[in-house]
A and B are shown apart, each in its own frame.
Chain A
Amino acid sequence: MTQAGTILLQNQKSGLHNKVMTNDNNHQQLAAWLADVANNRDKAAFTGLFRFFAPKIQRIAHQQFSNESQASEVVQETMSNVWRKAHLYSPEKGAPTTWVYTIMRNVSFDMLRKMKSRKEDNFSEDIWPLVEADNVETEVYPDHLQQNQILAYLDKLPENQKQVVKGFYFLEMSQEQLARHLNLPLGTVKSRLRLALGKLKQQLTEQDMGERDD
Chain B
Amino acid sequence: MNLAIFPLPVYLLPGGITRLRIFEQRYLKMVKEAASGDGFVISLHREGNEFNISDWGSWVHIIDFQHGDDGLLYIDVQCQDLVRIGTVERDQDKLLHGDVQVCEHWPVQQANDDTQLLGEELNKFFDANPTYASLYPDPDFGSPVWVCGRWLELIPINYEKKRCFIHPDSFSKAINFLSTVIIEKT
Contact = CB atoms under 8 A, between A and B. Distances in A.
A167 B167 CA distance: 28
Contacts of A166: 21-23, 72
A199 to B, nearest CB: 6
Interface in B52-98: 52, 55, 70-72, 90, 93-96
Given A164-B31, A165-B22, A182 B182 contact: yes
Interface in A179-208: 181-182, 189, 192-193, 195-197, 199-200, 203-204
A197 B158 CA distance: 11
Contacts of B143: none
B111 interface: no
B156 A135 contact: yes
A153 B8 contact: yes
Contact of A204 (B121, B157, B164): B164
Nearest to A129: B158
A173 interface: yes
Which size bracket describes the interface of A in this complex?
A: 35 or more
B11 A171 contact: yes
Given A153-B45, A168-B8, A172-B11, A158 B90 contact: yes
B180 A199 contact: yes
B106 interface: no
B22 A156 contact: no
A135 B129 CA distance: 16
B157 A193 contact: yes
Contacts of B131: 143-144
A84 B23 CA distance: 9
A130 interface: yes
Contacts of B21: 145, 165-169
Contacts of B124: 181
Contact of B94 (A135, A144, A160, A197): A160
10 tightest Cβ-Cβ pairs between the two chains A and B: A166-B23, A167-B21, A169-B19, A158-B94, A196-B180, A160-B94, A143-B131, A164-B27, A196-B177, A192-B181
14 contacts: A84-B70, A130-B9, A150-B9, A157-B7, A161-B95, A164-B6, A164-B27, A164-B30, A166-B23, A171-B18, A178-B181, A192-B180, A195-B180, A203-B173
Given A157-B7, A169-B21, A193-B155, 19 more contacts: A128-B157, A132-B156, A135-B156, A160-B93, A161-B95, A161-B96, A164-B23, A164-B27, A164-B30, A165-B6, A166-B21, A167-B23, A171-B132, A172-B155, A193-B181, A197-B177, A200-B177, A203-B176, A204-B164
